[in-house]
Chain A
Amino acid sequence: MNETQEKNLRRFASQMRRWIIEGVYRAQSGHPGGSLSATDIIAYLYQEELSVDPKAPRNPNRDRFVLSKGHCAPALYAALGLRDFFDIQEMKNLRQFGSFLQGHPCMSTVPGVDMSTGSLGQGISAAVGMALAAKLDGKDYRVYCVMGDGELQEGEVWEAFMCAAHYHLDNLCVIIDHNGLQIDGVTTDVMNLGSVNDKMTAFGWHSIPTDGHDFASLEKGFAEAKQQKGMPSVLVAKTVKGKGVSFMENQASWHGSAPKEEQYNVAVVELDALISKSEEL
């Protein structure tokens, strides 16, 4: 990864974080914690990995992206807006009555959203369906799916993982946003997942441990995933919930609550500094 790429990614991710906070603050509702932990992953996907065109969001040959942890819609919308799928200023209307930016991703209203999600566990199954469709049609687009670690507690997820391995879906790449927290607390306390890496390997996936905030690590992980033939790949990405806003970091309580005015002001100062810093790099 060269310096320009790195700089662009940092700037894009910082702007995403700023818009996530803006949208959630104005709506006074939403899910900042997981949106911020998934930001660098989604930034990398939309800047470096996905072959998508904002002018032709339904191009049948495009790569697909499914946000299976649909509550992190603010991160996805911010990436789409910054990539000009729609006017980024629409983030100011996130979750508000009449806005096309629904609380959870809605493919019927948002250009660039490939699957409506929000009910955990269903997005990964839909991603499996998209990867199967590519195989049936002999097309070479790839399917990417971001999931939460808490989401892995849903049984449907393991049905989908089994299915992807059974059909040798090497065109499918899952990224697990492994921030270790969920609404009720620490994931290992709420319902211990054990080793995600071991479970994925046992389910017939090529598992790649990754740092979900290190673009070089993500680059390496995605490149390795593309090399895998005959089996799906998963990037088990270690992340920090709330990443980029100091008081939100590693706090389960920021899973689904909006900042108050003073907190918003603190977050804005921090994020604006991040944006300036990324300009300087």
Chain B
Amino acid sequence: MEVADTRERIDAARRSIDAVWRIESARLIAGLARVTRDIGLAEDLAQDALVAALEQWPRDGIPDNPGAWLMAVGRRRAVDQIRRQETLARKQQQLGHDLETRPPVGESAFESVEEDIEDDLLRLVFTSCHPVLSPEARVALSLRVLGGLTTEEIARAFLVPEATVAQRIVRAKKKLARADVGFEVPPPAEFAERLESVLEVLYLVFNEGYSATAGEDWLRPELCHEALRLGRVLTGLLPREPEVHGLLALMEIQASRSRARVGPGGEPVLLLDQNRGRWDWAQIGRGLAALERSRALTDSPGPYALQAEIAACHGRARRPEDTDWAAIARLYGALSRVTTSPVVELNRAVAVSMSDGPEAGLSVLEGVADAESLQGYHLVPAVRGDLLARLGRDGEARAEFEQAAALTRNEREREVLLGRAAGLAGNR
């Protein structure tokens, strides 16, 4: 009985420590990385502090200011570590200087870190999303150091073995150390490219969560929440960047549909068929507000803001027939100019067909269908089939749907496409 009580108490303490970690870890790692100039080392030191907490807190209770406690332990370990490593003599000098000019480690040291923590967090964001790393490595490292997720949680969320994620993180840390990328906010000349890399990471995380299907690990859809949370953090750190607000707007508006986009049998429900009553209108409101902030900052919106504008056109329409297709077609035109992606043109063809009729859509489609990157892409014949069917050219439409069905790798989609083919008069 007593043993069970103790175990329960320790489990409860453990869960509370996880929660503290979740709240404090990014700031802790950022503060430590400022001293060590190495986020790999900073993360290791932060983990040491966590281990110390796991030993002491279940026994002594959680301290009043857990963040300061962790930071004090982490900084002490940093000093020990750096003194031990002669190869880091130069850094020791820096640290020595650092410590002289700062109050001793403890509450007051935390206060001084607190002042600049926003800058440190921003450096941490840019470093963990550094373009020398592959997108997978950036995603894993960022979820670890910015999201406070464990390796196991990341692995479960991405449906890959834990060892794979662990290795990705180790390699990423080594690569950053080898490339000597430092711990800085990028200079103006690199800023745009580096920011793009950060936004890409957030959107990858979001989409991974958004593609989760029913019955999968609950951690997968949680990735959407995590991407949104990090997006909100980033709008606080970079309030003047229109694309940061644009990406947040895009994610909020997309996520607002999660309740409506899966049918009772688990089948995907297309945007125009969704029950809009099940959209999260409060979330759409937050997305539209983020979009407003983005608009106020620039006259030439970037790809995320433009995609958010398109999502907003749907989000503003209480009924599908209220959709402003002409505006959407214009926005796809603008998006096409900044991304030069044939897939965007394909979307524009659909939007044009909705505003100006299937004939007009077909002519946009034919302008792009030969693009190399669209060869073998099932949505080209699927869209063409839809437009031809709307023009009453059933025989041609049927052939397109059949071709699309042969090309898609998604079983459910194939059924839908074959169903549409079968539903047409067979006069070929």
- Do these two chains interact? no
